[in-house]
């Protein structure tokens, strides 16, 4: 008899560990304190993972499989995966333990010691739910000077025959990103997001979360995520039907009180295995071939899944564990309290933190150009910023969070992922949102107490990091503008930035 451990983000019936299942084997699933608190995840994230785990275990049992399911509040719950495995091994004396490789480095590292600790063979199988294996990525990366997503993506399009014609990419171009940057219209009629009613299992989990994790960030109610494969498929179908046609046009747009925009809201389902990346890609391509959605929308959506998602996962495993230790810009400022409380006069940040607190979700441009841009410009400590992102989003796992935050947002990797820092002044947020109209600051003012902080923090960032960034060929124009600034202007920028940072340090509301 073999023991098969299935983790909370391995909720796929065909996951490699379950493919090894033979009659008589036992499957172990465990809700444990260690996984729920290694960072203090948003309440909605824990509720989603526990409820999805319980539904998945029920499905396996209905199929006649022998599942031991350890609930969080069982009196003898061991509190850790290794503790639960040890207990099951002592009770059942299996010949071997089988597990699909965990998605996070810290857990894989721990599991690699289990054979020694348990005294039985432990098979760690590849997680083949991705479209590029770790070896595929290493083969692509080895020998390249630059590891840019765009070139990886083109290889993936060819390899998987996605949006390809006999003579090249569909439509003649690989990438329609320039068509995906429309500034928002305030009268957009954004459809309501998919919403599922909590069933009995979910209601029990919600009670458990309220009791066990009262001090974790975020609102637990209302809870309307899907928690089953069937529900996740419905959420995907509603995206393809209602939002995909406009996904491209409004991909980078942000609107006050419109947290969901035309995004798909499926990352949390993909990341636990309730959806398969190729089925999402194929459904989107089908919508294009049927004339339901335009190419800029479909290519844009597919690029996120076939390109970015696979690329960041490849990069993570290619460069960990050293990747996490990098801090190219020597950033060290503590994370301001408003990332938790939303107590800030900067409307863009207040909105985004509030929506994150309510939904355990913010869309890409909010994560990148509002929360991330501020973290970059203010020089926030990468460890604290990474921890924050890992805690607050329902889709957050280190393999996807870290490259996005450490690389894309903070440039802490010195340019492995991004060719230049995604730094921007208030003008970008003004162009891509309607946040500035309801802000206490003036986005058009460059200096002084009323000026939008992003404006002077941008130039202060350039000034502070000139030595490190001046050689970047993509930043030539920025540094030319900086060099042309008068000494008075530079002095005003420094003084504004210092005043702002002092207020932050003294916990004043900025």
372 touches ligand FAD (CB under 6 A): yes
Binding-site partner at residue 41 among ligand DLZ, ligand SF4, ligand FAD, none, CB < 5 to 8 Å by type: ligand DLZ
In the bound state with ligand DLZ, the residue whose beta carbon lies nearer, of 205 and 349, is 205
Kindly tell me which residue out of 436, 478, 497, 510 binds ligand SF4, with binding defined by CB under 6 A: 436
CB-based contact 360:46 (threshold 8 Å): no
399 touches ligand FAD (CB under 6 A): no
127 touches ligand DLZ (CB under 6 A): no
Least Å from the CB of residue 295 to ligand SF4:
32
31 touches ligand DLZ (CB under 6 A): yes
Which of 467-475's residues contact partners 24+ apart within 8 Å by CB, and which partners? 468/328, 468/329, 469/420, 469/421, 472/415, 472/419, 472/420, 474/419, 474/420, 475/420
Binding-site partner at residue 429 among ligand FAD, ligand SF4, ligand DLZ, none, CB < 5 to 8 Å by type: ligand SF4
Helix (H, G, I), strand (E, B) or coil at 183: coil
> Whose CA is closest to 375, among 438, 418, 419, 423?
423
Residues 6+ apart with CB under 8 A from 243: 191, 262, 263, 264
Kindly tell me which residue out of 124, 162, 240, 266 binds ligand FAD, with binding defined by CB under 6 A: 266
- What would the x/- binding string for ligand DLZ be over residues 99 to 118, using CB under 6 A? ---xxx--x-----------
Least Å from the CB of residue 32 to ligand DLZ:
5
Pairing of strands 122-125, 26-30: unpaired
In the bound state with ligand DLZ, the residue whose beta carbon lies nearer, of 31 and 258, is 31
Binding-site partner at residue 329 among ligand FAD, ligand SF4, ligand DLZ, none, CB < 5 to 8 Å by type: none
Read off φ and ψ for residue 70, nearest 5 degrees. -100, 110
Running DSSP on this structure, what letter comes out for residue 505? H
In the bound state with ligand FAD, the residue whose beta carbon lies nearer, of 118 and 236, is 236
- What would the x/- binding string for ligand SF4 be over residues 441 to 460, using CB under 6 A? x-x--------xxx------
361 touches ligand SF4 (CB under 6 A): no
Could you give the angle at which helices 149-159 and 310-319 cross, rounded to 10 degrees? 120
Contact window for ligand DLZ (CB under 6 A) among 7-15, 323-331, 362-370, 385-393:
7-15
Residue with tokens 């995604």: 422
In the bound state with ligand DLZ, the residue whose beta carbon lies nearer, of 320 and 376, is 320
> Whose CA is closest to 398, among 328, 336, 331, 321?
321
Q: What is the dihedral of CA 345, 346, 351, 356, to 10 degrees?
A: -100
Please give the residues from 394 up to 453 whose contact with ligand DLZ meets the rule CB under 6 A.
397
401 touches ligand FAD (CB under 6 A): yes
Residues 6+ apart with CB under 8 A from 443: 426, 427, 429, 430, 436, 452, 454, 455
- What would the x/- binding string for ligand DLZ be over residues 475 to 504, using CB under 6 A? ------------------------------
Least Å from the CB of residue 504 to ligand SF4:
14
Binding-site partner at residue 364 among ligand SF4, ligand FAD, ligand DLZ, none, CB < 5 to 8 Å by type: ligand FAD
* Cα dist from 250 to 190, 262, 263, 278, whole Å: 10, 7, 9, 24
Q: Cα separation of 169 and 259, whole Å?
A: 33
In the bound state with ligand FAD, the residue whose beta carbon lies nearer, of 422 and 479, is 422
Q: Cα separation of 4 and 123, whole Å?
A: 10
Q: Give how many residues touch ligand FAD by CB under 6 A.
A: 28
Q: Give how many residues touch ligand SF4 by CB under 6 A.
A: 14
Q: Cα separation of 57 and 35, whole Å?
A: 18
Binding residues for ligand SF4, rule: CB under 6 A, are 346-348, 426, 429-430, 435-436, 439, 441, 443, 452-454
Residues near ligand DLZ (CB under 6 A): 7-9, 30-32, 35-36, 41, 46, 49, 81, 102-104, 107, 397
């Amino acid at each position: 008899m073999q023991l098969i451990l299935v983790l909370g983000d391995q909720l796929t019936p065909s996951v490699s560990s379950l493919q090894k299942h033979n009659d008589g084997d036992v499957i172990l699933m465990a809700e444990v304190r260690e996984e729920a608190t290694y960072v203090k995840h948003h309440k909605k994230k824990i509720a989603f993972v526990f409820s999805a785990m319980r539904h998945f275990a029920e499905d396996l049992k209905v199929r006649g499989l022998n599942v031991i399911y350890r609930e969080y509040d069982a009196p003898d719950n061991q509190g850790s995966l290794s503790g639960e495995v040890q207990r099951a091994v002592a009770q059942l004396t299996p010949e071997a333990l089988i597990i699909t490789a965990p998605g996070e480095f810290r857990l894989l590292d721990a599991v690699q010691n289990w054979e020694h600790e348990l005294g039985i063979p432990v098979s760690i199988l590849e997680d083949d739910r991705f479209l590029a294996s770790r070896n595929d990525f290493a083969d692509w990366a080895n020998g390249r000077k630059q590891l840019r997503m765009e070139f990886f993506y083109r290889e993936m399009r060819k390899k998987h025959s996605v949006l390809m014609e006999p003579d090249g990419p569909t439509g003649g171009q690989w990438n329609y990103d320039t068509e995906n940057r429309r500034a928002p219209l305030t009268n957009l009629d954004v459809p309501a997001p998919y919403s599922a009613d909590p069933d009995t299992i979910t209601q029990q989990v919600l009670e458990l979360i309220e009791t066990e994790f009262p001090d974790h960030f975020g609102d637990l109610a209302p809870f309307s995520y899907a928690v089953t494969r069937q529900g996740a498929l419905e959420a995907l179908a509603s995206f393809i039907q209602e939002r995909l046609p406009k996904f491209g046009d409004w991909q980078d747009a942000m609107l006050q009180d419109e947290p969901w925009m035309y995004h798909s809201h499926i990352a949390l389902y993909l990341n636990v295995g309730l959806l398969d990346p190729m089925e999402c890609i194929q459904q989107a391509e089908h919508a294009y071939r049927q004339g339901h959605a335009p190419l800029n929308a479909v290519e844009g959506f597919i690029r996120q899944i076939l390109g970015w998602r696979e690329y960041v996962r490849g990069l993570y495993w290619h460069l960990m564990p050293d990747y996490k230790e990098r801090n190219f810009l020597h950033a060290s400022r503590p994370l301001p309290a408003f990332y938790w409380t939303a107590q800030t006069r900067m409307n863009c940040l207040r909105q985004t933190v509030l929506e994150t607190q309510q939904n355990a979700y913010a869309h890409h441009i909010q994560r990148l150009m509002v929360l991330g841009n501020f973290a970059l410009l203010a020089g926030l400590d990468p460890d604290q910023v990474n921890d924050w992102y890992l805690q607050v989003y329902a889709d957050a796992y280190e393999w996807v969070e870290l490259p996005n935050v450490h690389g894309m947002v903070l440039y802490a990797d010195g340019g492995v992922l991004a060719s230049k820092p995604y730094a921007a002044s208030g003008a970008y947020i003004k162009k891509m949102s309607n946040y500035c109209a309801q802000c206490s600051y003036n986005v058009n003012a460059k200096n002084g107490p009323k000026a939008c902080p992003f404006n002077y923090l941008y130039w202060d960032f350039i000034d502070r990091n000139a030595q490190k960034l001046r050689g970047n060929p993509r930043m030539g124009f920025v540094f030319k503008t900086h060099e042309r600034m008068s000494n008075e202007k530079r002095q005003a920028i420094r003084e504004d930035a210092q005043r702002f940072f002092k207020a932050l340090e003294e916990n004043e509301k900025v």
